[in-house]
Amino acid sequence: MYDVIIIGSGLGGLVCANLLSKKGQKVLVLERQHQPGGCLQSYRRGSMMYDTGLHYVGGLAEGQPLHDIFKELGLLSLPWQRLDTDGFDRIMVGDREYRFAEGFENFVEALAKDFPEDKESLQQYVSLLQCTDEEWMQKTNAYDYLSGIVRNPLLLSVLSGACLKMELKRDTLPLFTFVHGNAPFIQSSWRLKGDGNLMVRRLIDNFTSQGGEIVCDAEVEELVEKDGMIRKAVCKNGQTYEARYFISDAHPSVTLSLVKESQLLKKVYRRRIDNLENTNGMFTAQLLLKPGEVPYFNYNEFLYDGLEAWDGRGYMVSCRVPEDGSAYARQIDILTPMNICECAAWTDTRCMRRGEEYLQFKAQKARQCIAVAERFLPGLHEHIQEVHTSTPLTYRDYNLTPDGSAYGIRKDAAAPLLTVLSPRTSIPNLLLTGQNLMLHGLHGVTMTAMYTTKEIID
């Protein structure tokens, strides 16, 4: 009998496991995959490791949002590398590049050189990023509000240009999501010198050293309710586990589907969760470069053809820190938003069994990404040794993410009470965590996990 069983070993599940076990709770994590970590994990191709979702982190310096909790989780001592303070993110609109400088005042001064007539708008913008009025921002449409303080459409596109870490949707995106997805990175931005498994291993080592347990290849197929509480988790391999509390790091719709029979989960509640829209997914081209040919760049490049940041057609180019201390990069990721509808022809297939046409589709998409990246890295295609790709279908199959969503359930400023979910469910001892509740991303999921654990311990 455990105090808490956690379903899923993504970041949300592992943070909950660490915080709860540290408080003396007997915790078990059940992971359906052979490898733990969710979108934090890395995969091997040949001799190289590739990340699935981790690219950079904001707000790790002392006094900033993630410093204290990362220190408590043992993550602060990992080999983090700070990105260029004079341009950690660089936005290329057409043929012109604009730089995001670290620190709110520096951020304003750097962009004011390109937009001298808009300095007041820039100052209003950074004041907004430091606002802490959560309720007001949840109910405010981001695009409408930003358009009111930033009248220059080019500047608005530039300020939104690093937002491939969220879904820029004009009619729904809450200002709260926009602010929390940008502010920590302006405070400080960091890359991990190594793959995402460094974080996964550290979290699991800390958790197990505190008495916690993790079981992989343990896919939960049912949560059994009795007398108004979840009593046990039944796995496909026949194993059964009991606990006082259950936390699910899976999508809420997936979680509710595990409760086959319930007196407390009403049909109207199930339908509401099932009918919530999910955000778009992502196409990623991961490039292995020939040794000693492409210099490492200590920043992220975001590319747009025109004033289209809010049209979802941008590209992010991110460079892996050379782990051997070399001045040359070996790995570059290129990401662009993709709706799962683009993969409709292969919806009923599974990974590694989608056929030749799907491989050709991905190869063509990768060539498109590489061509765009060559605007800032001329001749990139000549330096590529291997290309590995993923689509929303990849995330759907590996992480049970409906629609292969990159940012979880779509939040709507017009309906925050419906789209921003609480960790609580109708069943008192069944809790939720992860990117689908309040906020997504490393910062958002970590904060959400803290809210979830507070439902059990103070």
The per-residue pLDDT for 311 is 86
- For residue 181, the surrounding DSSP H or E stretch is helix 175-187
Is the model's pLDDT at 396 over the cut of 80?
yes
Q: Going edge to edge, which strands form the sheet with 300-304?
A: 96-100, 89-93, 300-304, 315-319, 331-338, 281-289, 384-390
- Spell out a b/e string for 146-181, using b for 16 or more CB atoms within 10 Å of the CB, else e: beeebeeebbbbbbbbbbbbbbbbeebbbbbbbbbb
Question: For residue 313, what pLDDT band results from cuts at 50, 70 and 90?
Answer: confident
Over residues 12-70, the pLDDT tens digits come to: 999 999 999 999 999 999 999 999 999 899 988 888 889 988 899 999 999 999 999 99
The per-residue pLDDT for 179 is 96
Q: Comparing 358 with 400, which gets the higher pLDDT?
A: 358
Question: For residue 352, what pLDDT band results from cuts at 50, 70 and 90?
Answer: confident
Percent of the chain whose predicted confidence (pLDDT) is above 90: 91
Among residues 156, 71, 162, the alpha carbon closest in space to that of 122 is found at 156
pTM for the whole structure: 0.95
Question: For residue 163, what pLDDT band results from cuts at 50, 70 and 90?
Answer: very high
Over residues 320-343, the pLDDT tens digits come to: 999 888 999 999 999 999 999 999
The per-residue pLDDT for 357 is 96
Percent helix / strand / coil, the chain, rounded to 5:
35, 25, 40
The per-residue pLDDT for 307 is 74
Percent of the chain whose predicted confidence (pLDDT) is above 70: 100
Spatial distance between the Cα atoms of 121 and 150, rounded to a whole number of angstroms: 5
Answer whether 2's CB lies under 8 Å from 28's CB: yes
Question: For residue 249, what pLDDT band results from cuts at 50, 70 and 90?
Answer: very high
Domain limits, the chain = 2-54+196-276+408-454, 102-188, 280-402
Question: For residue 87, what pLDDT band results from cuts at 50, 70 and 90?
Answer: very high
| CATH 3.30.420.40 is right for the domain spanning 2-54+196-276+408-454 | no
Over residues 410-448, the pLDDT tens digits come to: 999 999 999 999 999 999 999 999 999 999 999 999 999
Is the model's pLDDT at 264 over the cut of 80?
yes
Question: For residue 160, what pLDDT band results from cuts at 50, 70 and 90?
Answer: very high
Q: Comparing 114 with 305, which gets the higher pLDDT?
A: 114
AA letter at 396: R
Burial class (CB in 10 A: 0-12, 13-18, 19+), 356: exposed
Mean pLDDT of 160-175: 95
The per-residue pLDDT for 312 is 81
Which of 23-27, 305-309, 359-363, 376-380 is least confident? 305-309
The per-residue pLDDT for 94 is 87
Is the model's pLDDT at 344 over the cut of 80?
yes
Among residues 44, 2, 101, 143, the alpha carbon closest in space to that of 299 is found at 101
The per-residue pLDDT for 9 is 96
Mean pLDDT of 259-275: 94
Among residues 338, 403, 415, the alpha carbon closest in space to that of 167 is found at 338
The per-residue pLDDT for 308 is 80
